[in-house]
Amino acid sequence: MNNYTTIQGDMWDLIAYKVYGKENCMKELLEANEEYRHIAIFPSGITLKLPDIEPQKSEILPPWMR
């Protein structure tokens, strides 16, 4: 598990996008950092735990590309 140190103005969805490339990983990020769940917009300097997230297979791709 890695860490991420916030910068002023970071939000959960923005951090998920920066780290994982998609906002929908925000749920896993929140679950790994319950103690900061009440923060919507972060100040700088908070260290968050980054859980390892398995890439999800897309249902949009044809079967031979999954």
pLDDT tens digits, one per residue of 18-66: 999 989 899 999 999 999 999 999 999 999 999 998 766 556 767 776 6
- Look at the chain and report how many structural domains it folds into: 1
Give the pLDDT of residue 13. Answer: 95
Domain for residue 58, yes or no? no
For CA atoms 31, 37, 41, 47, give the dihedral sign.
negative
Question: Does some domain include residue 64?
Answer: no
pLDDT of residue 56: 62
The model scores a pTM over 0.85: no
Q: Does a structural domain hold residue 34?
A: yes
At 55, which amino acid appears? P
Domain of 7, in residue numbers: 2-51
| Residue 13 placed within a domain | yes
| Distance of alpha carbon 56 from alpha carbon 50, whole angstroms | 17
| Residue 59 domain flag | no
With respect to residue 63, please indicate whether it lies within any of the assigned structural domains: no
